[in-house]
Structure 1
Amino acid sequence: MKVLVTGANGQLGSEIQSRASEFSGLEFLFTDVNELDLTDFNAVKLYCEKEKPSFIINCAAYTAVDVAETDGELATLINTKVPAFLGKISKSLGCRVIHVSTDYVFDGLSCLPYVETDLVDPDSVYGKTKLNGEIALVKEDSSALIIRTSWLYSTYGKNFLKTMIKLGEERDELKVVADQVGTPTYAADLADAILTIIAKTKANPSAWKAGIYHYSNEGVCSWYDFAKAIHEICNIECNVHPITTEEYPTPAKRPAYSVLNKSKIKRNFGVKIPYWRDSLKLCISKLKA
């Protein structure tokens, strides 16, 4: 069985690459823009018809949240039109798609962890293009599986973890937003969850349960709490001050609350989800190594 991974050089794609050898009986096709430009629909169609993947994991996304506010055309192309096209291909080839989405589809006004059926109402261009991508994918292929995640970090690429380590070592003090609450997600854990779903489906095709799912690590924190935990684990002496969203304005509006309820993915696929601080310690130990 072949597994096509798009956006393979990003945080999640890189983590999938590092774990691929642990899953026997699967041949992985790792592609990023240099190997397969997803905006060239004809090239993608020909590639998939030639390789005939059994699964497509779409990790590719336009994730420059603030830039998207003035670059909506490219964000729409990558976040909305590409998933729709992959859905069209998967439908025609009879393969399965796992598409990665975001907590930004919610407005952040809830006070309870979001379940998959809660009202979606994104406040940013990024969030709107990702939501439209979900809708467009399902319209093309109702058997698709969508996983919304939040606050992704990894040993790969640029992310909040690496930024806080760098700034904490360079400065005596930092200001970090304390009124946006969610859950950090170690990309390695999400990669394991996705590969577990594929492995279970390979062993038993009826294990595949299409639909929308939520995945983040367990627990809840603010960006301020996240920064403090990073410095504590890294033994970085830096005075971190909590500030409000109003004190740190950005072009794109962030959800004030985006904690995700993971009951559905745990129930349907038996996925085990680590506590965010435990995963953070593991990721930092790998960074140090």
Structure 2
Amino acid sequence: MKKILVTGATGQLGSELKVLSNNYSQFEWVFADRTQISLDNLSVLQSQLETINPDFILNCGAYTAVDKAETEQELADIVNHLAVSIIAQYAKDNSVKLIHISTDYVFDGTSSVALTEEATTQPINVYGVTKRAGELACLEVNPDTIIIRTSWVYSRFGNNFVKTMQRLLQERDSIGVVNDQVGSPTYAADLAQVMMDIITAQEWIPGIYNYSNEGEISWYEFVLAIQEIGGYTCEVNGIPSSAYPTPAKRPAFSLLDKTKIKRIYGVSVPEYKESLRKCLNDTIFVLPRP
């Protein structure tokens, strides 16, 4: 029985993969938390991988605190770059198939058209710099790696933008949301399914792929969709990024072109509002309506 190792198992994507694993009993699954796979401790990572001895690695673990990364550059680089290099080398040396998750933050946000996998990368914050370094490490050390760039991830699990907005829409009379950053959200359950579609496909075709849900929206429009589906009455106002300064700059435009993953793996990409509705209508995890 082939063994799948999921790093970052308690995160949003790892948690969705855990739910999905019930549909893939032909595999043995190892969901590794930070103690089992220590991405921040390079001295033990190799031996941890050897102990688990997987056939597939789904590297969902990452340092994702975008603003905090500006002051924790070394830690962000260890987790997002140096640990990834070790994992990629292990995968190559042991003929392990590796899917590594990356981000739209490798781009500078100056494009006006959907970004393909070949678009020029130029990160504008530390998080993006370290994630791009991780990509390059994979491609250099182990060209057989599949890298999936994604954006604006949310899920039923953990803390994320959607849950925060649900809470604020219930607690406040009005909120301001940035309306000049454009992209598309990604429901982690959809991304988890795509990863399994790739693993179970007849052919493994390495390289970089983009994946997010369909739609070109701003964060403001995303919140309007949350409001609509949830039936909240809070007033939502669009504001410029300049009115909500953060330690790390965000790309103003990071819409991902999904043509490649659709063509090569036949992936069906749901429209963002369809996936958002699925997530919000999960009665186990949704917050009670006011």
TM-score interval, normalised by the smaller of the two chains: over 0.9
1:86 is aligned with what amino acid? I
Residues 180-209 of structure 1, C-alpha deviations (whole Å, 9 max, x = no match): 000010000000000111111xxx3xx100
Residue 286 of structure 2 corresponds to which residue in structure 1? 288
Identity, in percent, stands at 47
Indicate the SS of the match to 2:200: helix
Q: 1:87 touches 1:97 (CA, 8 Å); kept in 2?
A: yes
Q: 1:113 touches 1:259 (CA, 8 Å); kept in 2?
A: yes
Quick check: which one's helix share is greater? Answer: 1
Residue 250 of structure 1 corresponds to which residue in structure 2? 246
Residues 82-107 of structure 1, C-alpha deviations (whole Å, 9 max, x = no match): 11010110011110110000000000
Separation (CA, whole Å) in 1 of partners of 2:175 and 2:161: 13
Indicate the SS of the match to 1:76: helix
Q: How does 1:167-178 map to 2 (within 5 A)?
A: 167-178=168-179
Compute the displacement of 1:288 (Å). 3.2
Residue 158 of structure 1 corresponds to which residue in structure 2? 159
Q: How does 1:130-141 map to 2 (within 5 A)?
A: 130-141=131-142
Separation (CA, whole Å) in 2 of partners of 1:27 and 1:44: 21
Residue 66 of structure 2 corresponds to which residue in structure 1? 65
Q: 1:23 touches 1:199 (CA, 8 Å); kept in 2?
A: no
Indicate the SS of the match to 2:232: coil
Separation (CA, whole Å) in 2 of partners of 1:40 and 1:4: 18
Residue 188 of structure 1 corresponds to which residue in structure 2? 189
Separation (CA, whole Å) in 2 of partners of 1:151 and 1:13: 16
Separation (CA, whole Å) in 1 of partners of 2:72 and 2:122: 20
Indicate the SS of the match to 2:281: helix
Residues 129-165 of structure 1, C-alpha deviations (whole Å, 9 max, x = no match): 0000100121111100100000000010111100001
TM-score (norm 1): 0.96
Residue 95 of structure 2 corresponds to which residue in structure 1? 94
Residue 226 of structure 2 corresponds to which residue in structure 1? 230
Separation (CA, whole Å) in 1 of partners of 2:40 and 2:175: 39
Alignment partner of 1:148 is 2:149: yes
Separation (CA, whole Å) in 2 of partners of 1:149 and 1:212: 11
Q: How does 1:1-289 map to 2 (within 5 A)?
A: 1-200=2-201, 204=202, 207-286=203-282, 287-288=285-286
Compute the displacement of 1:21 (Å). 1.4
Q: 1:49 touches 1:93 (CA, 8 Å); kept in 2?
A: no
Indicate the SS of the match to 1:138: helix
Compute the displacement of 1:284 (Å). 0.1
Aligned length: 284
Gaps of 5+ in 1: none
Residues 198-242 of structure 1, C-alpha deviations (whole Å, 9 max, x = no match): 111xxx3xx100000000001111000001110111111100110
Separation (CA, whole Å) in 1 of partners of 2:105 and 2:50: 33
Alignment root-mean-square deviation, CA? 1.1
Separation (CA, whole Å) in 2 of partners of 1:88 and 1:242: 46
Separation (CA, whole Å) in 2 of partners of 1:43 and 1:68: 23
